[in-house]
Each structure stands twice: as structure tokens, then as C-alpha cells.
Structure 1
Amino acid sequence: MNHPHFNIDFDRQLIASLPAFGPRYTSYPTADRFYSEFGPANFQAAIQHHGGQTPLSLYVHVPFCNTICYYCGCNKVITKDHSRADRYLDYLDKELDLVAANWTGKPLLAQLHFGGGTPTFLSDAQLTRVFDSIRAHFTLSEDGEYSIEIDPRKVSRERILTLGKLGLNRMSVGIQDFDAKVQKAVNRVQSEAETSIVIDAAREAGFKSVSVDLIYGLPHQTMASMHTTLNKVLALHPDRLAVYHYAHLPHLFKPQRRIDTEAVPDSVTKLDILQDTVQHLLDQGYVFIGMDHFAKPQDELAQALQQGRLQRNFQGYSTHADCDLVAIGVSSISKIGRVYSQNEKNLDAYYEALDNNHLPVMRGYELNEDDLLRRDIIQDLMCRFAVNLDDYQHRINIATADYFAAELADLQQMASRGLLTLQGHKLVVSPKGRFLIRNIAMAFDAHLRHQHTQAKYSQTV
């Protein structure tokens, strides 16, 4: 379906009336459904079946950080000892060797993403070493999307130019907030000047896209303070922005215990901040991509949305046609065909598996036909804001109305509240519903409907 433009309507009353928590659907089924009975042999069989015959995506997880940001819930290792990264790279090499032994030749690398942690914890020499290993196993392309997450506090102009020479062409820059009081409260003090140096250097190096990450709901934030931050960010002219919700869960994430709970804005203030941020971005000409992502109209993400080519994977929204993902490093998650596979989350366990010449698989999931069907439907919803269930009739053995009886009943309720229009088995998400797309997608989540989970999902808005 081709949708030339997507409006959104921020309906606070509707937002408040719907379930507040739900999956982000970077995968379906979600990672809390993975099971430990899935092991290295299962993942190896999936890689062998792929055989390297079609383009692949590669995710590289670098867990190290110099300092701790109190809000962070990522899998990370806080250290100032950069020699620890040398050992880690030894194991990344070994893991990639074990994976690549299951395909022939050097498959085309369509996408590459360095995440963390802080990928730029690695020195120029260490990053060059990683790229040498990648080039030994993959064929890189001028058309590839090769991205890295950047902490501007630790990166010089020269470093960015080096990243460009290595082959990286997209970056995500962490900012979160420019307010000094907020920065101090979360232990991430970062100046506008050092952030500007990094973004200017990216453009000098020929990076095709610069994305900026912000967080709303941090301690001491107000609508006015966040508006000021947003104006400073917009002066940097980022191609994309992601505006994430801060979930204060000190019982789950130990670093958050250093945050003064009394300073965290209440739910009304957080909605004020979000509503003002969304409206300001729209007023400045940014396109709402989905969930918490915005982009300039000429950016690849906005073009992909308008042309119906948008995709979603573990790294979020993507412009590239959906392709299998190999993920290396501690805690990373691969997607090969109908299989998800997650690596060990603990460094020692990750190292031990590789010492024994085993793929470091901790758990995973093999999708059945119903899972595959629902994964495609949820992808349609998250990326195109529309789905016609009759398009999937050939994949089920009973009438659409019977197979999706419970879902259609839920959708009728949502239609009555203005989230979508439903004509027969075709649904189109309304401007009110686009900001609540996760709630709509949840209607098709059979695991959420029928099976209890202990997972703590993030807020849908």
C-alpha cells in the first residue's frame, strides 16, 4: 500500500484509557518467549539452511562503557581498562569464524550495526581489526547501510573521519537531554559543542544519515526544559530523531537506584513533554515514522514509509528489504529464517562456550506457521499502518473471520474508539491510532493473549 503522508493525532484521553505497557515488537514472538531448550545445534542448522546465498545483516554488540549513565538498562560492562576489549575481540573473531563456517563464499553485507554499550569504546586499531574480520567473511557494498552508535563525549572529529574511512556511513548520536541539571542527575554531562563537532564531522566524512536519541521522563525534566533541549537539537539539523520514554525501574536496574525518584516527572508531566515534543517536530517538518521515530521528509526512512518499503528489526526501523540477521557478541539476537537465537548475556558464559568451540547460544525460538503469519501481520501494522487479513487467507486453513475471531472483536472495539477503521477484514490505522500502534499490534499477539509472561514491557506511550 502506498501512503503519501501520515498525519498523527495526539489524543491524551485515549492514550490514558488504553493498556500502558506492551512489547516494542522488534521481533514477534518477543524475546521473553525464547526458551533455553533451543541450543547451538538449532541455530547452526538455521545458518546452514541459509548458506550465505542471500544478503545478510550483521549486528556487533560492544558491551563496554567508560562511565555509567544512571538511566541505562542495557547489557553493559563498565570499565576504563581498554585492554579488556582486546580479549573480547578475540572471541568476536572466533564466533564469526564459527558462524561463517556454515556458508560458502562471502555473502553480501546489506546492513551493519555496531551497538552497545559504547562501540566507540574501541580504539581506531580495535575497530580496524573488527572491520578486517568482517571483510574476511562478507562482501561490503557501496549501497550498504553501515551504522554505529556514538557517545560524543569520547569521540573527536578525527575519530569520526576514521569511522568514515572504515566504511561506516550512518550514525546514531546519544544526547538524551542538554539541560545541565538533568545531565548531572543521570551522570551524563555532555556539551552542545562536543555534540556539534561529532555531527559536523559525520557530514564532512560523507555519512548519509545522522540520527539523534532523546529521552523524556528523566529526573528534573519539564516541558519547558525539554523544549529548550529540542531547539538546541534541531539547530544541529539531524536527519532522524528517536524520542524514547524513560522507564524508572530501580528494582530491575541497579544504576537507576542512584536517581532521585522524587525528581522523576509524573505521568501527566511526561505526557506534556511528549505532546509538546511531537508537535514541535511536526511543526518543524519532520515526518512521524512510527512509535518514537521521526525523520526529515527527504530521509531514507521517510521515503521508505511513503513507498511502503519500511521494515522493522531488532535495531528498530530500517529502510532495507527484510533480510536475515547474524548477531555476534554477548547478549545479541540473530534472526535467520524462522529462527531467533540469543547469545549468552554473561561475558564469562559467552567466553566459555567459545572456548569449547560452541556457538554461544543461551536460548532461542523456532517459529511455527501461526507465528510466521502473525509476524508478517504485525510488521504490516508497525511499518505501514494498515493490513488486509484477506491477503493472508491462502496461509490458513479456515475462513479469515473464524481464524481471527478474537482479534476482529478487539479491532471492532478499537474502531469504535477511533484508533482505526475496519472494513470487512481490512484495517487502516487512524491518525489517533498511529501513536498507539503497539496497542493495536498487541491484538494479534497470540502469546500475549494465551500465555502469561513474567516480562516487564515498556510503556506504549
Structure 2
Amino acid sequence: MQRAGEQISGTGAASRYSEAVPRYTSYPTAPHFHAGVTGATFRHWLRQTGTDDDLSLYVHIPFCDRLCWFCACHTKMTQRYEPVAAFLDALLCEIRRVGAVLGGNGRVRALHFGGGSPTILRPDDVMRLGDALRAAFRFARDTEISVELDPNDMDEARFDAFTAIGMTRASLGVQDFDPRVQKAINREQTFAQTKAVVDGVRSRGVQSVNLDLLYGLPHQTLESVAATIHQALTLSPDRIALFGYAHVPWFKKHQTMIADDWLPGPEERYAQQQETARIIRAAGYEPIGLDHFARPGDPLAAAAREGRLFRNFQGYTEDACRTLIGLGPSSVSRLPQGYAQNTPATAGYERIVRDGGLATARGIALTDEDRARAWVIERLMCDFAFSGQEAIRLFGEDGARIVAEARAAGCGAGEQMLVERDGAFVVPEASRALVRTAAARFDQYLAQGGARHSMAV
């Protein structure tokens, strides 16, 4: 990795940092989903699940008690619990319905609660939700259960409730500890609050703690973001996710609360990314793909070393399940046949579920070429390389076509975005921060439609 502040060489480097490309948590990406995938389609796909197929579950809670200006998630703010309670009734109904379609097939290996803020749920409702999931799906004995925690919501009863339903990993949104930055993003959260939650989950036997941090936020400087990283490291997290803030006000209107001139420019963002990554690595963490770090003994680090790293809508994971079932509004399911996404509007979701249907609103069925390109993009995002020979072995003519594309492109005169070494196509270390741009070269959908994306770095 480059030294802090060292820039990728070549003409127009700054424009490459700011190039708009997908994050590639899926391929094809969500802007290319369409209404041709319906609840009936999803039901048909679910029924093809085998008895012992491994499953992952994602449960989306679309409420927060405050709205952070930086957030691009599907969520809404509420100060009343009645809308949350009404939503939970619908969610429990969807859980029972999807479980009935599976008919006992599949075995849950991983469960992730996200949002929004899962911690907005009252402790008794956390327990109801955990009981409903275990009644509807068959869980493995060692299922990993991760929960996104908002430190502002946590109390002793919530600690106990999430522990009781089997939480094995806690993920805390930190973003930044600088008060000026926190005020600008409407996310005021002291270091003491964060530490109290880390201590609280660890005291209850939760061994894995992940911290989410952001660079590129309003009013951040190289010095201030480095200070946040040093503070976060004192909490000894097992994993760190270091994301670049995605400023997409055309997609999330509340981001207009963040003025453009508060944001660091492309070169400053790149310098922040390089410096924060350097500090984390110097503390003994291993880099995982583009934006994750883990202690050497963490399962995610082992998966990265051994070529067993994967990428999904929750980021990098060692979860190898081919079937991920999304529950709740806007959630996305990934099955061997394709992607299916629930309707994003909470009211519409509740109405469909209560009327007896599945909430699928759109998706995409995968072609053989889609699967080949998805594999190449995932390997680039996870390993910064893909084997041409393996691509051909796995995908035949489609793999051979992609290999030919990689060779023909030469990946840009002088850019060194991708080079061929001993039959593998490799993103050089100096260009790894731009791996999304390298992956985009194999995205046959990217030029279609008018989708807009966040900056490459």
C-alpha cells in the first residue's frame, strides 16, 4: 500500500479518485433490478432450496429515533413506538410465510440484524423476533448472529435481550468522534457512550466487536480523522470497516443538509483513506479487501489469507452461503437463480404482507454470463486478482470471453489498473484503492440506464 498522501501516478489522477462507480456488493447491481421478478418468482426460487443447503438471513429494521444526514440506508425517523410495533407485526408475518415456503429446508448459518436501528426495538420485541425466526427456520448449532447497535439506544435490558437471542457479533456505528463533524452529520455520540457499549457486550460474552468508521465526511481533515482512528483503536475492536462517505443527495434528500463545500475534495479524501489505513495496519490489523480490517486471528482475516473471502450487501464476509434471504422492507435476497428485493416503502410492505403475499417488488434473474462476471468482480473486490484459467474452468466460453476482454483492454495505457501476471489478472498494490474502477471494466450493465454512483475513493 502507498505511503500516506502518496498519489497514484498518471495524468488525471484526481478525476480517477472521483469517478462514479458502483460499490459492487452485488452483480448485477441494484439499479438494474426490474419488476419482472415478482413474489411468485421468489416463491419458486425458494422452493428449490435443498434440505441441507446453508442459508443466511438478513433482517431489516427500517426505523431510527433520529436521522443521520450522512446515511444512505432505507430508514425513517420516528419518536413514537406505535409505527415500530405495527411494522414488527408485519415482519413476523413475513418470517412465518417465508419459513412456510421453505418447508423446513435449508439451515441458517448466519443471521444479521441491520437497519435503520435494530436497537430501536423494545427488549420484549427483540425476544419475540428471535423466537419467531427460530420457529420459522432451522438454525445450525453454531449460527453466527450479528447486530448493528446504536450506542444511543442501548440500555441494560437491550444488552440482555440481544444476548438472549444469541448475538455473537456486535457492530457499532462510530463514523467520527470529532464534535464538529458529528454535529454536521447529526450523529452526536461520545467516545464514552461507545466504550460503554463495547464493554457492555463483551461483559456478556460477545467476543467479536466491529466498528464502522467513515472518511470523507464534512469538516474532516487528515489530522481529525486520524485522531478518530487512534481513539477507536483504544477500544481494541476485532474488526474495523472504514468506508468513504457516499454523498448522494439526488438519492437521499436529507443529505442536502450537508453542504457540498463542507466536504473534502477527491485528493483530500484519498489522503484520508491512505492515512487511516496506514494507522490501522500499523496497529496490527490485516487489510481485508477494499475497506475492512481484522485482527490476524479473526475468521475474516483467515478467510482473506486463504482465498475464502466473499462480498454481499453487508460488506466483506467469510459467509459462503449461496442463499441469503432478506426480510423487511427494501431487503435483498440473493439466491442461485438471482436477486429479489422487497418493496422499500414500509407502508406498502406491511400492506402486501398482511394481504398474504410476499413483498418482492423487483429483482433480476441471472444469466450464465452474469454469474461469470459476478465471480470476476467479486474476486477482484476480495482478492485484487482473478485467475484466467479458473474463470475458463468455471464458466467456459463466458469465462474465456472475459479473459479476452481483460487482455484486450490492457487496462489503460499507463494506468496500471490491472496487469497480467502468470495467468492471473492483478490490481497492482499502488492501484488497490481504485479496485472498484477496475471491477467496473467487467460490468456489462454499467452503461445502461441513468444510475448514478458514489466516488471511487
Match of 1:296 in 2: 295
How far has the Cα of 1:216 moved from its partner? Answer: 1.3
Distance in 2 (CA, whole Å) between partners of 1:403 and 1:260 is 41
- Once the 2 structures are TM-superposed, how far is the Cα of residue 188 of structure 1 from its aligned partner? 1.1
**Structure 2 counterpart of 1:100:** 99
- Mapped contact 1:339–1:366 kept (Cα < 8 A): yes
Q: Which residue of 1 aligns with 2:65?
A: 66
Deviates more, 1:207-216 or 1:389-398: 389-398
After TM superposition, the structure 1 = structure 2 runs for residues 165-314 of structure 1, keeping only pairs within 5 Å, are 165-314=164-313
Moved more, 25-34 or 249-258: 249-258
Give the structure 2 partner of residue 324 of structure 1: 323
User: Is 1:457 matched with 2:453?
Assistant: yes
**Pair 364,220 (structure 1): closer, same or farther in 2 beyond 3 Å:** same
- The equivalent of 1:134 in structure 2 is 133
CA distance in 2, matches of 1:22, 1:52: 38
Deviation at 1:264, TM superposition (A): 2.2
Letter in 1 for 2:137: F
Does the 8 Å contact 1:382/1:441 carry over to 2? yes
- Give 1:16's match in structure 2, choosing from 14, 18, 21: 14
Taking a change above 3 Å as real, the CA distance of residues 402 and 81 of structure 1, as seen in their structure-2 partners, is: closer
Are 1:110 and 2:109 an aligned pair? yes
Q: Distance in 2 between matches of 1:413 and 1:73?
A: 31
1:204-225 deviation per Cα after TM superposition (whole angstroms, max 9, x unaligned): 1222311111111222211111
Q: In 2, Cα distance between the equivalents of 1:8 and 1:378?
A: 23
Contact map agreement 1:66 1:78 (CA 8 A) in 2: yes
Gaps of at least 5 residues in structure 2 are: none
Please report how far the alpha carbon of residue 239 of structure 1 lies from its aligned counterpart in structure 2 after TM superposition.
1.0
Partner residue of 2:144? 145
> Mapping of 1:408-419 within 5 angstroms?
408-410=407-409, 412-414=410-412, 416-419=414-417
4+ long deviations beyond 6 Å: none
Please give the alpha-carbon distance, in whole angstroms, between the structure 1 residues aligned to 2:170 and 2:2: 27
1:167-222 Cα deviation digits (max 9, x unpaired) = 01101101111111111121111111111010011211222311111111222211
Distance between the aligned counterparts of 1:102 and 1:155, measured in 2? 35
Pair 419,338 (structure 1): closer, same or farther in 2 beyond 3 Å = same
Structure 2 distance, partners of 1:402, 1:307, is: 27
Change (3 A) 1:424 1:385: same
Moved more, 38-47 or 348-357: 348-357
Distance 1:398 1:246, change over 3 A: closer
Could you tell me which amino acid in structure 2 is paired with residue 413 of structure 1? C
Deviation at 1:46, TM superposition (A): 0.3
CA distance in 2 between counterparts of 1:217 and 1:384 reads 25
For residue 52 of structure 1, report the CA deviation from its aligned partner: 4.7
Partner residue in 2 for 1:360: 359
Inter-partner Cα distance in structure 2 for 1:100 and 1:349: 21
Q: What is the DSSP-based 3-state SS (H/G/I as helix, E as strand, rest coil) of the residue aligned with 1:68?
A: coil
Q: Which residue of 1 aligns with 2:55?
A: 56
- 1:323-350 deviation per Cα after TM superposition (whole angstroms, max 9, x unaligned): 3011110000001112100000111211
Amino acid at match of 1:393: I
Residues matched between the structures, number: 452
Residue 436 (str. 1) matches residue 434 (str. 2): yes
Q: Closer, same or farther in 2 for the Cα pair 1:403/1:249, shift >3 Å? A: closer
Distance 1:58 1:18 in 2: 36
Q: Name 1:28's counterpart in structure 2.
A: 27
Q: Is the 8 A contact 1:157 1:198 kept in 2?
A: no
State the identity %: 37
Distance 2:151 2:354 in 1: 35
User: 1:362-377, aligned counterparts within 5 Å?
Assistant: 362-377=361-376
- Aligned equivalents of 1:423 and 1:265: distance in 2? 36
1:17: how far off?
5.3
TM-score of the pair, normalised by structure 1: 0.92
Gap runs ≥5 in structure 1: 1-6
Q: Aligned letter for 2:92?
A: D
